[in-house]
Structure 1
Amino acid sequence: MTSGTTPASAPKAKRLAFLRRATVVAVAMAIMNVAAYGFTLIGTHRLAPEQFGALTALLGLLLIGNVASLGLQAAGARQLATHSGAGAGALSDTMLKAGNRAALVLTAVCLVLTPVFMWLLHIDSVVSIVLLAPTLGCLTVMGAQLGVLQGSKRWTELAVIYTLTGVGRLVLGGGALLVRPTLDAAMIGLALGAAVPIIVGRWVLRGSTGATKEQIKTVLREAAFGTHTLLAFFVIANADVLFARALLDGTDSGYYAAGVIIAKACLFLPQFVIVLVFPTLAQSPGDTQRLRKAIAAVAGLGVCTVIGTLILPDLVVAVIGGADKYAPLGPYTWLFAVSGSAYAVLQLVVYAAIAQQEKRAALGIWIGLVVLAAAAGIVLGTGIATGLNGVKVLVAMTSTCALLLSAVLAAGLHRQAAGSPQA
């Protein structure tokens, strides 16, 4: 008997290796998301409604600013994944220095906009607003670090950073609220929690040197492209809540907002698939078979969530807001699961567009947003659909929009790959 894998067992070994990687990353991202939700729950219990509203607004700003971090991560992962030959250390150093520069710019912009944020959000605490800047700076640096680890396929270290992101927010942010239930304490804890993963990331990525100014500028330009594309996606993925608020009455928009919690859970559930497959998509642009398999994996998870909401609608309603308040939403929870799963597929295709450097993807998403807004305005604004029917129609329109955009963008990627010189 010879050691090693036989040709027949090689595919099985590859599948097992992928499942191990997927499990590690999926568990880490689940911990991160659950910990972030735990911090929010502590906030709801420890802060007065007015202060919790302010905290939610500040978290919203961090969510918007974090798009730059995601753009850096995508750029770094693509660059490292497509890199061949020597010089990986210099390329990693390029990514990290690009992240540092972007973090400094965003930190400075946040500090300059402090008076604007105070006026816009009706927050009197200068400390809370000022702390947005270092928190966002840390998140941006972390995005560059994650990009290097993702592109290098260092899945264990990547999982550690994801885990520390959630644990830092829960332990330090939530702990600060338990010690002192104020908005300032929450923001101090968030800032400290955001610093934890980048400290560990610097230690993990030590030894990367050799970046040039021109290389850093190139990475920043690519990061700007990825940031724009992801910004378009996050806008369209969150626009339906604004449409519901503007076009439905207060009660129905409240039902819709509760349903969106289900949609967001279904959107974030398969993110680990995107993290794992993105470097491979970058290495093999136009590989439609690989993209189809990834879409099937994301869609499969979506089908599971839809079945779960169909079987246990009352439990889902009780978890998201309470059976007493949101009982009428029960029969429609599956529609929100479909919507979130549809946007999860779109998110995967958007990352495939970034991996393939498809510059028209963002334009397509913005056009989709305009069409969705017009359709919602006509159907809901004119009273064609009202009440819970309006809720059902709006969530159905968002699902349809996401699936159509996914099909259009995927077809564009296929055409681009077919027309490339290598095809």
Structure 2
Amino acid sequence: MLARVQNLSKFLTPEKVFIISAIVVNGGNYAYNLILGRILGPQQFADAAILVTLLLVVSFVAMTFQLVVAKGMAEHTDRNVSAFIKKAYRYALGFGIFVGALVVVFSKLLKDIFNTQSQVMFIIFGLAIPFYFLMSVNRGKLQGVKSFTKLAATYQLEMLSRFIITLVLLFFFNIDSSLAVSIAIAISFIAGIFPLQKKSFYIKSQLSISNVEQKLLIRFFIITACYELTQIICNNSDILLVKHFFPSYDAGLYASLALIGRVVYFVTWMFVMLLLPTVIAKRKEGENTVPVLIKYVTYISILAGGIVGFTFLFPTFSVTMLFGEDYIAIAPLLGWYALATSFFAVSNVFAYYFLSLDKYMPIIIASVLGIAQIILITLFHENLYQVVIMQVIAMCALLIGQLGYFFIGNIKTEKQLNRKLTSTHRYKNAA
């Protein structure tokens, strides 16, 4: 028995625990949205989907802090990491308060733009945003030191609390669905902060990071923030635009389509979380990082290909099984939306890979194609099919751009190595 336990502990490495946890969390979040869609119907689900979309937008912004902290934890020495974490918490809290205040102040405008029934749901959401940024710093700290078990726990607590509280409020209290979702999201932000070391807020160390390190981190922060902005544009602008251009019923249908199609992105995100610290560690040791990229691209491509194939072959079955007969109208669009999301998911791996190597051209590529997607949808939105096809075009171009940059960079690297080998060989012959 003891031998079995020991073998199990060897098999369940922290990385594998995190992957299993990520599958559970993504499955829980997916089930959460599916249940909302079935309970509320297309029209009410449209308002709930806006909150979920705003949650994704905030998560992308907060991911900037998480990635910067993860990179800092992986690169800093033990003597100055405490001061770095203290600064990160302070800046994240300040920025979170600023963003939350903007949401609260402009809640009425948000209500009008997205044609929602409630303004209060935006106020509740805005008040909770500072907690999300604190949570992201804590996650970056755990990610940077590869404490994947504790990192998994924060995602589990956030997902479970949001899931349970929403269902309790909807089934046992006479409360508007949009308010129930906003309250549950707010409480989940607080729950997701744990496990948290309280001493992180009360560090008295006078040590600080060097000016050079600080400049590099600020540069990384700015670049990462720019890329996360492109993530918001590529991954969420379509739902926001559809909610603006189309009636609530159509927007609800599209939200369900987006949720089913984005299973590709949710499933593959766990590999991206593991990619960054692994690539940084390999680079520090002077090892080749390309095999790491190839491994994760292969995993994601296989997963994405399987999901896309299934959605093209069985669209009606997928929609009926997940959302029910009320949403059957979006079945013909499902495979195309999953294809667009797959292009984005694979290109995302390349972008984060280069980001971890301090190469930022892929961010410019993503920014251009993200803006192109908004322009295309704004110009061509006669129906939902047209909206989806515009995304397929933009995301296909994005993947081609990222692949092109990767191959061009590899060719240049190989030429530089050949020149060095040639010059070394000539020097030895001359000697």
What is the CA–CA distance in structure 1 between the aligned matches of 2:388 and 2:229, rounded to whole Å? 26
After TM superposition, the score normalised by the length of structure 1 is: 0.77
What is the CA–CA distance in structure 2 between the aligned matches of 1:39 and 1:322, rounded to whole Å? 15
User: Which residue among 292, 295, 303 is the counterpart of 1:293?
Assistant: 295
Structure 2 vs 1, CA of residues 97 and 206 (structure 1 numbering), >3 Å: closer, same or farther?
closer
> Which residue does the alignment assign to 1:174?
167
What is the CA–CA distance in structure 1 between the aligned matches of 2:396 and 2:321, rounded to whole Å? 26
> Which residue does the alignment assign to 2:427?
none
For residues 393-412 of structure 1, what are the structure 2 equivalents within 5 Å? 393-394=389-390, 396-411=392-407
Conserved 8 A contact 2:362-2:405: yes
What is the CA–CA distance in structure 1 between the aligned matches of 2:77 and 2:230, rounded to whole Å? 31
Q: Does 1:159 align with 2:152?
A: yes
Offset, 1:288 = 2.0
What is the CA–CA distance in structure 1 between the aligned matches of 2:111 and 2:251, rounded to whole Å? 27
> Which residue does the alignment assign to 2:428?
none
Equivalent position amino acid for 2:146 in 1: K
> Which residue does the alignment assign to 1:342?
343
What is the CA–CA distance in structure 2 between the aligned matches of 1:408 and 1:337, rounded to whole Å? 23
Identical aligned pairs, as a percentage?
18
Q: Does 1:91 align with 2:93?
A: no
Structure 2 vs 1, CA of residues 234 and 405 (structure 1 numbering), >3 Å: closer, same or farther?
farther
Equivalent position amino acid for 1:281 in 2: V
Offset, 1:177 = 2.5
- Which 5+ residue runs of structure 2 have no aligned equivalent? 1-6, 421-431
User: Which residue among 221, 224, 234 is the counterpart of 1:223?
Assistant: 221
What is the CA–CA distance in structure 1 between the aligned matches of 2:112 and 2:309, rounded to whole Å? 45
Q: Does 1:113 align with 2:115?
A: no
Offset, 1:336 = 3.7
For residues 17-36 of structure 1, what are the structure 2 equivalents within 5 Å? 20-36=13-29
Q: Greater CA deviation, 97-106 or 119-128?
A: 119-128
Q: Does 1:317 align with 2:308?
A: no
Secondary structure at 1:143 match in 2: helix
Q: What is the aligned length?
A: 402
Offset, 1:155 = 0.6
Offset, 1:293 = 1.7
Offset, 1:34 = 3.0
> Which residue does the alignment assign to 2:258?
260
Structure 2 vs 1, CA of residues 413 and 316 (structure 1 numbering), >3 Å: closer, same or farther?
farther
Offset, 1:411 = 4.2
Offset, 1:55 = 3.2
For residues 249-398 of structure 1, what are the structure 2 equivalents within 5 Å? 259-285=257-283, 287-309=289-311, 312-322=314-324, 326=328, 329=331, 333-371=334-372, 393-394=389-390, 396-398=392-394
What is the CA–CA distance in structure 2 between the aligned matches of 1:247 and 1:138, rounded to whole Å? 32
Secondary structure at 2:193 match in 1: helix
Offset, 1:24 = 1.6
Equivalent position amino acid for 2:222 in 1: A
Equivalent position amino acid for 1:65 in 2: V
Equivalent position amino acid for 1:269 in 2: V
Structure 2 vs 1, CA of residues 203 and 245 (structure 1 numbering), >3 Å: closer, same or farther?
closer
Q: Does 1:187 align with 2:182?
A: yes
Structure 2 vs 1, CA of residues 209 and 172 (structure 1 numbering), >3 Å: closer, same or farther?
farther
What is the CA–CA distance in structure 2 between the aligned matches of 1:257 and 1:59, rounded to whole Å? 10
For residues 3-18 of structure 1, what are the structure 2 equivalents within 5 Å? none
| Alignment deviations for residues 315-344 of structure 1 (CA, whole Å, 9 cap, x no partner) | 3232344468537845x7544433322211
Conserved 8 A contact 1:252-1:391: no
Q: Greater CA deviation, 309-318 or 66-75?
A: 309-318
> Which residue does the alignment assign to 1:76?
69
Offset, 1:157 = 0.4
Offset, 1:372 = 5.1
Structure 2 vs 1, CA of residues 57 and 104 (structure 1 numbering), >3 Å: closer, same or farther?
same
Conserved 8 A contact 2:365-2:402: no
Equivalent position amino acid for 2:67 in 1: A
Structure 2 vs 1, CA of residues 17 and 155 (structure 1 numbering), >3 Å: closer, same or farther?
farther
Conserved 8 A contact 1:229-1:362: yes
| Alignment deviations for residues 233-271 of structure 1 (CA, whole Å, 9 cap, x no partner) | 331234556788999999999987654334310111111
Conserved 8 A contact 1:46-1:177: no
Structure 2 vs 1, CA of residues 259 and 187 (structure 1 numbering), >3 Å: closer, same or farther?
closer
Secondary structure at 2:274 match in 1: helix
Offset, 1:76 = 1.1
Equivalent position amino acid for 2:317 in 1: L
Q: Does 1:235 align with 2:233?
A: yes
Conserved 8 A contact 1:98-1:219: no
What is the CA–CA distance in structure 1 between the aligned matches of 2:105 and 2:90, rounded to whole Å? 23
What is the CA–CA distance in structure 2 between the aligned matches of 1:266 and 1:316, rounded to whole Å? 14
- Which 5+ residue runs of structure 1 have no aligned equivalent? 1-12
Structure 2 vs 1, CA of residues 339 and 43 (structure 1 numbering), >3 Å: closer, same or farther?
closer
Q: Does 1:196 align with 2:196?
A: no
What is the CA–CA distance in structure 1 between the aligned matches of 2:227 and 2:408, rounded to whole Å? 15
